[in-house]
Amino acid sequence: MSKSNFLEDFIVEQKITHAIPRTLTEGDSSIYISLTGNRHPLYCAQTFSNQLGFSKTPLNDFLVFHIAFGRTVQDISLNAVANLGYADVRFIKPVYAGDTIRSESKVIGIKENSNKISGIVYVHSITKNQDDDEVLSWKRWVMIPKNNKDAVIKESVMEELPKTVSIDNIQIPKDLNVSNFDFSATGSSRVWDDFNDNEFINHSRGLTIDETAHTLATHLYQNNAKLHFDAHMMKGTAFGQRLIYGGHIISLCHSISFEGLENALNIVAINGGVHSNPTLAGDTIYAKTIVIGKDKIDGRDDIGLLRLRLIGIKNLPSSSLDSIYQENTNDKIYNPNVVLDLDYSVIMPRGK
Amino acid sequence: MSKSNFLEDFIVEQKITHAIPRTLTEGDSSIYISLTGNRHPLYCAQTFSNQLGFSKTPLNDFLVFHIAFGRTVQDISLNAVANLGYADVRFIKPVYAGDTIRSESKVIGIKENSNKISGIVYVHSITKNQDDDEVLSWKRWVMIPKNNKDAVIKESVMEELPKTVSIDNIQIPKDLNVSNFDFSATGSSRVWDDFNDNEFINHSRGLTIDETAHTLATHLYQNNAKLHFDAHMMKGTAFGQRLIYGGHIISLCHSISFEGLENALNIVAINGGVHSNPTLAGDTIYAKTIVIGKDKIDGRDDIGLLRLRLIGIKNLPSSSLDSIYQENTNDKIYNPNVVLDLDYSVIMPRGK
Amino acid sequence: MSKSNFLEDFIVEQKITHAIPRTLTEGDSSIYISLTGNRHPLYCAQTFSNQLGFSKTPLNDFLVFHIAFGRTVQDISLNAVANLGYADVRFIKPVYAGDTIRSESKVIGIKENSNKISGIVYVHSITKNQDDDEVLSWKRWVMIPKNNKDAVIKESVMEELPKTVSIDNIQIPKDLNVSNFDFSATGSSRVWDDFNDNEFINHSRGLTIDETAHTLATHLYQNNAKLHFDAHMMKGTAFGQRLIYGGHIISLCHSISFEGLENALNIVAINGGVHSNPTLAGDTIYAKTIVIGKDKIDGRDDIGLLRLRLIGIKNLPSSSLDSIYQENTNDKIYNPNVVLDLDYSVIMPRGK
């Protein structure tokens, strides 16, 4: 029987093949648009993706990420108390309708908490397509309780995770060609060269989340973590209701961020990410982007990389957020309205 | 950056190419059925559409209309106070899964309101497919506020919009052939010849709208008008909650109207339409159809056109609606339960 | 006009061709996953289904059943007071994306209730694909009111319906080949030989149902029974709100039952089934499976049949359900938390 693991069940260097390969389809892409309001033409317009050199329309990178991630939940995080963070997430190859993906993981670190009732497990997961090509690689860490309080945990200290995906590890889709880029399809002529370091973009859309919308999304990803679906169980918790899958918040914020970043193309990396506060049905999500880096790409003067910090905010328009962190604190404690702090990199065409 | 326009930003004769081409898929069609309960076999049964001469199953005409319309929102109506009406809507060519559509508009009239804080903008929009064939053409007018109260508006009086799409401008899909029409697939043998002018049809279904259902629909169309999605913002308005996109009401009423009009085929025109009252989550939608015209088609004795007035009603079964307009008023003020008054034309097979 | 039938409208031996053939698509499959969280790889992974000998991925058997059933509602059960049960449901042939199905029924029994205001109608329905191959066959009985209280009902006593689909009537999909079965794709190595008669499996997932989720599902099936959709009408009933389509409960319970039955393949029969109590939005569904039979298949030592009793439970985790029936009753009256009692048969690979 498929089992879910507690802290004492993980062993460093252990490899786990996750069940349930999944064929992605155009239907998944349509539902994703329905759930997020995504408007990036790269993911929804065959004419546009063809002009960029792709023979088929790439699936939304975050849709692929969430489905890839969904495979790992049963073995890694079904019992998790919290999803603590992501690092070194690499989008290696676009995934298209008709591709079948499967995920596997390796445990790369275990650290027991001082309370001795839980600990942190670090895993490195990869996702391959039906041709055995790696399409995604990522690291995440989760807090997992012990099942047996007396179990002795064999800890394994790890090297620190990289703060960014290094440029050497970034893959530009091999077909990508922006020589015929159609700026009328994106609605903006603002390109890589026009963005400035530390520039803020207050995206104006707000998207309110209802119970059905987030459960449909999380089901679509076949993510079976119980706390997203079981209101009866959640009534007995401090939250009192179902918690929203953090990945749904990423997708909403990314969709909201189209306004102001219309020419953003494929996502190539998530350098790091934190779900800084929980979200519940009824919350309205807003987003802000801060440009935190601009990288040129060797041998390509037609495209560049923007490193973006995407801040998700609940129940407060982006333009009204004074500070990402609480003031008057020495530690960087997030403002209670900030629900997402995601550092990612996208390709954008450069000016002529 | 994509911008949204205020009254003073529009110029008569100005042409606007809308962003975000969209490839429609079978997935969109399935979601549309899930959201509306649509049962017209023309749009869901390959066997039926093949018998009618179509090599593929046409997408629901209203699904296509809403997606085409969705393209125009950012430029035309993101700041709109109200969507006042439609006229001269022509369905020129069926759209199939795999087609990519894009929309463009021309400003055809501007009129400032006497209050000098807003005005009415009239636009003519067209939608083309990937082969540059026109598939849709329509006119609509919206009330748009000024951003700068002191801006001087250059008005442009227009010729009156046509009250109906003239028969010369109606396109019958070139493949349509009803010689093998399968009445067992529609469940009714009632054809064009059997309908009478001024006949009333009280459709009996009622469909209750929930927040998620209308937001999923409006997201599917990539319509990004904020008032449909942002409950936080809407709390501060007279409505107190998200407003439902009027197009969703059209789709619900059209789906409800299958009962009694089972042999209706492609929609060829919307002669005019008004969203007469707002709808909110929790409302139950009913519909009534009045046959307001029957037109023969030159050279075709196998099919005819029915001109139908589709009345959408909230929270009151169709059979209980006494009057479309409020009684004891000189002006035609809509009954507060009437939410839609749509005048459209469909093809229907004729009797032998 | 399509009509809906009252008790006096049914005639024994009458054949009814149901309207609205339906082409099933990958989009339907994606929405089904979104609505149910289904994780069976047979239905979502092209690689897995290919390894099993299928050239395409079979659509979820319950998705097919609900869509096939949806065709019959207008004629059989639009006026039904209750859906009393199913028997002799045979899954004859897998259905794939692109197939078009249509349903027809024969009335096989009519019995007036002693109150003379309603009665029970028994029908045998079959569903065929576009090649005229039978894909499904089932019997059900529903309670239907009379329209005219004085109508005289011509009763017709029937032979008792079979308590199980006999092994001779069970069809194994002709392409099915488990010689390359990939247990890493299901996440479990537990096979037919490992299950014991009368074994209980308490599935741990709980899925809370919201109004939109069940209406989307029921719309997807084009099931137009009013009590699932019309909250305005339902306010005036004892339920006070929309009733959830029983088929949605079957799908949720089946999806929940993946945990513990990961190697279950195609469903071949529903031997019987009862919706023992109603469900409403807000209910959380849990499920328990009892192994009630193990059958070998002539000429196949690689696969066997498991006969399973799937118990759906509301608002009570499976492990907390003491008894399926109320205690201290002579009759078998269901525990009020038990909402489904379904007896079905699935194929499962055998051990080496």
DSSP codes, B282-329 = T-EEEEEEEEEEEEEETTEEEEEEEEEEEEEEESS-GGG---SB-TT-
ipTM over 0.85: yes
Q: Which of C83, C118, C147 is where one domain is finished? A: C147
Task: Let me know if residue B93 belongs to a domain.
Answer: yes
Co-location of C203 and C141 in the same domain? no
Could you tell me if B195 lies within 8 Å of chain C, comparing CB atoms? Answer: no
Q: Tell me the mean pLDDT in the region C284-301.
A: 97
pLDDT band at B101, cuts 50/70/90?
A: very high
Task: Let me know if residue C334 belongs to a domain.
Answer: yes
Co-location of A350 and A220 in the same domain? yes
Could you tell me if B62 lies within 8 Å of chain C, comparing CB atoms? Answer: no
Please answer whether residues A217 and A69 qualify as being in contact, where contact means their C-beta atoms are separated by less than 8 angstroms.
Answer: no
Which domain CATH number covers C7? 3.10.129.10
Query: Which tens digit of pLDDT belongs to each residue from C111-167?
Result: 999 999 999 999 999 999 999 999 999 999 999 999 999 999 999 988 889 999 999
Cα–Cα distance for residue pair B203/B191, rounded to 1 Å: 17
Query: Which tens digit of pLDDT belongs to each residue from B158-171?
Result: 888 999 999 999 99
pLDDT band at C1, cuts 50/70/90?
A: very low
Q: Tell me the mean pLDDT in the region A41-48.
A: 98
Smallest CA–CA distance, residue C92 to chain B, in Å, is: 21
Query: Which tens digit of pLDDT belongs to each residue from B174-207?
Result: 999 999 999 999 999 999 999 999 999 999 999 9
Co-location of B196 and B142 in the same domain? no
pLDDT of B1 reads 37
Query: B338 is in which domain, residue-wise?
Result: 189-224+232-352
Please answer whether residues C339 and C278 qualify as being in contact, where contact means their C-beta atoms are separated by less than 8 angstroms.
Answer: yes
Kindly determine whether residue C205 and residue A30, on different chains, have CB atoms separated by under 8 Å.
no
Task: Let me know if residue C283 belongs to a domain.
Answer: yes
Task: Let me know if residue C162 belongs to a domain.
Answer: no
pLDDT of B33 reads 98
Cα–Cα distance for residue pair A50/A33, rounded to 1 Å: 20
Kindly determine whether residue C44 and residue A2, on different chains, have CB atoms separated by under 8 Å.
no
pLDDT band at B93, cuts 50/70/90?
A: very high
Co-location of B77 and B211 in the same domain? no
Contact residues, chain A, for C46 at CB < 8 Å? 23, 98, 100, 130
Co-location of A87 and A138 in the same domain? yes
Mean pLDDT of chain A: 95
Could you tell me if A281 lies within 8 Å of chain B, comparing CB atoms? Answer: no
pLDDT of A126 reads 98
Cα–Cα distance for residue pair A168/A170, rounded to 1 Å: 6
**All chains having 3 or more CB pairs closer than 8 angstroms to chain A:** B, C
Q: Tell me which DSSP letter residue A276 carries.
A: -
Tell me the H-state helices in chain B: 26-36, 41-44, 46-51, 61-72, 183-186, 211-220, 231-234, 246-256
* Percent of chain C clearing pLDDT 70 (strictly above): 99
pLDDT of A4 reads 85
Q: Amino acid identity of B36?
A: T
Higher pLDDT, B352 or C216: C216
Co-location of B200 and B137 in the same domain? no
Q: Which of C88, C119, C147 is where one domain is finished? A: C147
Task: Let me know if residue B158 belongs to a domain.
Answer: no
Task: Let me know if residue A179 belongs to a domain.
Answer: no
Cα–Cα distance for residue pair B124/B107, rounded to 1 Å: 6
pLDDT of C332 reads 87
CA angle at residue B327 from B323 to B333, to 5 degrees? 85
Kindly provide the b/e burial profile for residues A78-102, where b requires at least 16 CB atoms within 10 angstroms of the residue's own CB.
bbbeebebbbbbbbbbbbbbebbbb
Cα–Cα distance for residue pair B59/B42, rounded to 1 Å: 9
Given a cut of 80, whether residue A3 has pLDDT beyond it is no
For residue B7, CA distances in Å to A259, B16, B109, B115 come to 21, 15, 11, 13
Cα–Cα distance for residue pair B324/B318, rounded to 1 Å: 11
Kindly determine whether residue A222 and residue C37, on different chains, have CB atoms separated by under 8 Å.
yes
* Percent of chain B clearing pLDDT 90 (strictly above): 94
Look up residue A128 and give its two tokens.
Answer: 């391959």
Co-location of B197 and B254 in the same domain? yes
Number of structural domains in chain C? 2
Please answer whether residues A344 and A308 qualify as being in contact, where contact means their C-beta atoms are separated by less than 8 angstroms.
Answer: yes
Co-location of B107 and B202 in the same domain? no
Cα–Cα distance for residue pair A67/A73, rounded to 1 Å: 10
pLDDT of C28 reads 98
Q: Tell me the mean pLDDT in the region C299-318.
A: 97
Q: Which of A94, A123, A148 is where one domain is finished? A: A148
Co-location of B219 and B119 in the same domain? no
CA angle at residue B229 from B224 to B235, to 5 degrees? 135
Co-location of A15 and A128 in the same domain? yes
Contact residues, chain B, for A58 at CB < 8 Å? none
Contact residues, chain B, for A25 at CB < 8 Å? 27
For residue A183, CA distances in Å to A136, A190, A256, A260, A350 come to 29, 9, 19, 13, 12
pLDDT of A84 reads 85
Q: Is the dihedral of CA A327, A329, A334, A336 positive or negative?
A: negative
Smallest CA–CA distance, residue B333 to chain C, in Å, is: 25
Contact residues, chain C, for A222 at CB < 8 Å? 33, 37-39, 44
pLDDT of B159 reads 83
CA B190 vs. chain centroid, Å, equals 25
pLDDT band at A56, cuts 50/70/90?
A: very high
pLDDT of B77 reads 93
Co-location of C200 and C282 in the same domain? yes
Could you tell me if A18 lies within 8 Å of chain C, comparing CB atoms? Answer: yes
CA angle at residue A253 from A247 to A257, to 5 degrees? 145
**All chains having 3 or more CB pairs closer than 8 angstroms to chain B:** A, C
Look up residue B345 and give its two tokens.
Answer: 């034309």
Contact residues, chain C, for A229 at CB < 8 Å? 37, 205-208
pLDDT band at B103, cuts 50/70/90?
A: very high
Query: Which tens digit of pLDDT belongs to each residue from A207-248?
Result: 999 999 999 999 999 999 999 999 999 999 999 999 999 999
Co-location of A209 and A98 in the same domain? no
Query: Which tens digit of pLDDT belongs to each residue from B311-339?
Result: 999 999 999 999 999 987 777 899 999 99
Given a cut of 60, whether residue B2 has pLDDT beyond it is no
Query: Which tens digit of pLDDT belongs to each residue from A295-313?
Result: 999 999 999 999 999 999 9
Given a cut of 70, whether residue B258 has pLDDT beyond it is yes
For residue B340, CA distances in Å to B64, B223, B249, B283, C238 come to 19, 19, 7, 13, 31
Query: Which tens digit of pLDDT belongs to each residue from B194-245?
Result: 999 999 999 999 999 999 999 999 999 999 999 999 999 999 999 999 999 9
Task: Let me know if residue B99 belongs to a domain.
Answer: yes
Please answer whether residues C141 and C96 qualify as being in contact, where contact means their C-beta atoms are separated by less than 8 angstroms.
Answer: no
Task: Let me know if residue A254 belongs to a domain.
Answer: yes
Could you tell me if C31 lies within 8 Å of chain A, comparing CB atoms? Answer: yes
Please answer whether residues C245 and C62 qualify as being in contact, where contact means their C-beta atoms are separated by less than 8 angstroms.
Answer: no
Which residue spans within chain C are E strands per DSSP?
Answer: 15-17, 22-23, 82-91, 100-112, 118-128, 134-145, 200-202, 207-208, 267-274, 284-297, 300-314, 338-349
Q: Tell me which DSSP letter residue C301 carries.
A: E
Q: Which of A31, A229, A233 sits opposite C30 (nearest CB)?
A: A31
